[in-house]
Structure 1
Amino acid sequence: MSTNSTTTDTSTFVCTLQTCSLDYAMIHYIPSLAGNALFLALFCVAAVIHLFLGVWHRTTSYLVAVMGGLLLEIIGYAGRISLHDDPFSFNAFLQYLICLTLAPAFICAAIYLCFGRVVIEYDARCSRLAPATYSKVFIACDLVCLILQSAGGAITSTAGTDNTSLRDLGIDIMIAGLACQVVSLVAFMALAGDFALRLRRHHAQGSASLLPVDWHAGWKWRGFLIGLIVATTTIFIRSCFRVAELKGGFGSALANDQVAFMILEGVMMILACGVMTAFHPGLVLSRERWNASAQQQLKLHQVESRSSQIEMIQRSGV
């Protein structure tokens, strides 16, 4: 006797909160609607402010880099909000995973663009690299990180939920991209710290600065520098967390710890984008300074420095 009439077809079965345990979900908890909506709103506000400031101050390269990161953050948290309603959605899971993994690389690119200009504003002679080299080298490193993370995300998305070996390969490639980002940030922080020490030593020895130092004593400039330090540190902390999170796999305790994710991913990136919004480079650097080439910026500062020194001599002689 045939049993086809009583056989259950499971090929089209879809899990819901009413029919399946969260153990079968993409993440083993229901993402906080309030927390993720708050992060989404904050990133949207930052995006609107950056768009206005970027257009007003014409800091095009900075605007493109930061907006790329902010848009990915917005899309990623929209995915997490979708997971609140359907934690079994593979598409929403990939949306959040890939977008939030890629976003910090764009913010890092903005930091590198700023630091090259900071080197010129102080004293390029104290830097081990030419000012323009910082953005070229480290943005190239970011590009490699993005390619690895994107490739890993693409492999993970095509693997689906059944092909675990292919999905694990995608995760490993994403981890490699994140690890490269951590190494790149460590190298950048080492060079930035070295520049600060060499600059201090240079000035302590009484060497003449190329720059009008008094201009850099204002709170806006100090806030800008502190903002870059805070953004770099928080992104570094976040990147270390994501490497550890993905290394254990999607089923690990860390990958399913919502509090750790909200603090070490969400709060860290909110802080990074927040300080880069509050202390936008357009508030301290003129349009000409930002958009000029490295050589043009250096020449501009040398002229300003000489003018400032002549003015000080004239005042002292009065």
Structure 2
Amino acid sequence: MAVLEPYRGGYYLWKYLPSIEAAAIVSVLWALVTVAHVWKIWKTRAWFNIAFAVGGFMEFIGYAARASAHDKTGNLMPFVIQNTMILLAPVLFAASIYMTLGRVIRAVKGERFSFIRPGRLTKLFVAGDILSLTIQGSAAGLMIISKLAKMGQTIVIVGLVVQIVIFGLFCVTAVSFHRRMKRDVVVAATCARGESLKWEQLLRMLYGVSGLIMVRSLFRVVEFIMGTDGYLLSTEWPIYVFDAVPMLFAMAIYWWWWPSMVSSVGSGNENWAAMTSMSDLSPGAAKKAPTLP
């Protein structure tokens, strides 16, 4: 029977005995959704979503390591792997989300409706993502050293706060662009006729996925603020309810409303019809779409 074992000098890496059943089930789910994303990336050639798939693979590795740690709570590597992979994976999800928004704006020729130019938008948010990733990644090693664990947690909190701030700015940018586009005369007339606008569908998908990542990030901030002896880090169920489940839903939502229609957008030369076509929503119902001035 597995028992909780110390790492060195009586220092416990784990505050509980990780459930092998829960970790195994979740790792299998992550394997399935990641394979599904890889298949869609290959099928649609939407290469900008590779970061999303890599994030899913990291989650799979992380929860597989948790399962292996059930009877190895005194071993360092399973703890480090699961802690690092699960903590950093959502940063990669965010990278694909940022690139999707920039491509949506260019695809509908809506640059004038965004207060940050699409080219700068993607670079700005991805740079913020890399900064958050670097900060959180640098603290992963410190968290396994008893004397430096508190410092490591503080650095992780800073990295998560950076991620939340960047996400907040991203949400403001997306919502502002959405509202300004809707106020445009041509767009408003199209909506009034009841036509389905694919760009709006994509934005709503981004709102949903971003909201789930935001909730997860806030949970992790509270978790580390409470410390290693706090309830959230000393109990297992919160990481599944507030981290694993939201991120699985984020992967599923992104897969279902896959942004394949902006996979070829890069230079901004794509036309409005590519985003407003009805052909792949209701067969035989394609209509001629208006062109933005």
Question: What's the TM-score, normalizing by structure 2?
Answer: 0.83
For 2:45 and 2:14, how far apart are their aligned partners in 1? Answer: 42
Tell me which of 227, 241, 251 is aligned to 2:219: 241
Q: Are the equivalent residues in 2 in contact too, given 1:79–1:92 (CA < 8 A)? A: yes
For 1:58-207, what aligned pairs fall within 5 Å after superposition? 58-62=45-49, 64-122=50-108, 123-157=110-144, 159=145, 164-200=146-182, 202-203=183-184, 207=185
Deviation at 1:183, TM superposition (A): 1.0
Question: What are structure 2's unaligned runs of at least 5 residues?
Answer: 277-287
Query: Which residue matches 1:229?
Result: 207
Alignment-mate amino acid for residue 32 of structure 2:
V
Deviation at 1:42, TM superposition (A): 1.3
Cα gap change, 1:223 to 1:83, in 2 (>3 Å): farther
Deviation at 1:291, TM superposition (A): 2.8
For 1:303 and 1:223, how far apart are their aligned partners in 2? Answer: 13
* Identity among equivalent pairs (%): 25
Alignment-mate amino acid for residue 236 of structure 1:
M
Q: After TM superposition, which residue ranges in structure 1, 4 or more long, deviate above 6 angstroms?
A: 210-216, 302-305
For 1:133 and 1:210, how far apart are their aligned partners in 2? Answer: 27
Deviation at 1:210, TM superposition (A): 11
Deviation at 1:309, TM superposition (A): 4.3
For 1:175 and 1:184, how far apart are their aligned partners in 2? Answer: 14
Deviation at 1:221, TM superposition (A): 6.4
Deviation at 1:147, TM superposition (A): 0.7
Alignment-mate amino acid for residue 191 of structure 1:
T
Q: Which has the higher helix share?
A: 1
For 1:112 and 1:227, how far apart are their aligned partners in 2? Answer: 12
Question: What are structure 1's unaligned runs of at least 5 residues?
Answer: 1-15, 311-318
Query: Which residue matches 1:301?
Result: 272
User: Which is higher, the Rg of structure 1 or of structure 2?
Assistant: 1
Alignment-mate amino acid for residue 76 of structure 1:
G
Cα gap change, 1:197 to 1:91, in 2 (>3 Å): same
Number of residue-to-residue matches in the alignment:
274
For 2:190 and 2:211, how far apart are their aligned partners in 1? Answer: 29
Deviation at 1:255, TM superposition (A): 1.0
Aligned pair 1:264/2:242, yes or no? yes
Question: What's the TM-score, normalizing by structure 1?
Answer: 0.77
Deviation at 1:19, TM superposition (A): 7.3
For 2:5 and 2:168, how far apart are their aligned partners in 1? Answer: 47
